[in-house]
Amino acid sequence: MRTDAANVDQPATTPAFQRISFGRKAKNHLATTLFALAFLIAVVPLLWVIYTLLSRGLKPLLSTNWWSHSFSGLLPTDFGGGINHALAGTLLQGLVTAVISVPLGVMVAIYLVEYGQGSRFARAATFMVDILSGLPSIVAGLFIYALWITTFGLNRSAFAVSLSLVLLMLPMVVRTTETMLRIVPDELREASYALGVPKWKTIVRVVLPTALSGILTGVMLGLARVLGETAPLLILVGYTNSISYNMFGGEMASLPLTIYMERGTATEAGDYRMWGAALTLVLVIMLINLVATALSKLFAVKTK
């Protein structure tokens, strides 16, 4: 009986690591190879684009007049000039777009998370945001053209461009803000309510500061995305070689529109200015992404 008891209490001895079969090794190597090839297929075009931009667009950026002058007075065959007019127009249109879309997007997201909570109006708003998320830029430009110019009889202007960019940026702001607000723990809201703080003040003083880091990141990334749109610019505003700050009338340059117009010159000088404007646009978008990263770390909730 002792022998039987000892055999029962003794655990079964199995090897810690069994021999891996040839089929499993082959599948593992095949999957590794496929993932590596997919990575190379995605990276090679990116490196090619970066190399092309640097090789063709770096020379204009290193010229002394590129950042301080415009293309005013230049002939299609003249080298030189600067991107000052297009850079100012792009930043001004982006600023107006952000001023309109950010408050609207944040307030819509607050309603959906804090007040709507599955109501019919909230479901309708969510459905409309989903539609705007897939709206092509050319359709947004045509809608503003039909409303702003055809219906109201107003002139083509940079402000109309900003309105079309609002339609493209607004769903990104709403989705990002909504996601960040849902991440905020309900315990923070309940603690604030327990102290007698009204709901609106809880949202302003507790919920929004907690989610501010992610909201700012989404806003900056959404702005970087819409600044590269070209279709609304072709429909809603004319191009000028000189700098302009008039948002409600006249022509205004921008980086995407400058790239398009210089491409149509079919001259060596036009290619020179086109690639310089393209590299400038990439640098502006990269700078916005870096600012978004810095703001995310600056306004992140401190855990210690």
Is residue 10 scored above 70 in pLDDT? Answer: no
Q: Domains in the chain, start-ordered, CATH in brackets?
A: 84-298 (1.10.3720.10)
Dmax over CA atoms of the chain, in Å, equals 108
Is residue 17 scored above 70 in pLDDT? Answer: no
pLDDT digits (tens, 9 = 90+) for 236-288: 998 988 898 999 988 999 999 999 998 888 788 889 999 999 999 999 999 99
CB under 8 Å to 199, separation ≥6 — which residues? 114, 193
pLDDT digits (tens, 9 = 90+) for 191-227: 999 999 999 999 999 999 999 988 988 898 889 889 9
| CA–CA separation, 225 and 176 (whole Å) | 14
Between 130 and 20, the more confident residue is: 130
Q: What average pLDDT does range 91-110 have in this prediction?
A: 94
pLDDT given at position 161: 94
CA distances, 67 to each of 32, 77, 206, 280 (Å): 47, 20, 43, 10
Is residue 117 scored above 70 in pLDDT? Answer: yes
Between 12 and 67, the more confident residue is: 67
Is residue 11 scored above 80 in pLDDT? Answer: no
Is residue 123 scored above 70 in pLDDT? Answer: yes
Is residue 15 scored above 70 in pLDDT? Answer: no
pLDDT given at position 295: 83
User: What is the DSSP code string of 287-302?
Assistant: HHHHHHHHHHHHSSPP
The token duo for 274 is 């086109």
Is residue 301 scored above 80 in pLDDT? Answer: no
Q: What average pLDDT does range 149-164 have in this prediction?
A: 92
pLDDT given at position 146: 94
Instruction: From 268, 285, 253, select the one nearest 56 (Cα to Cα).
Output: 268
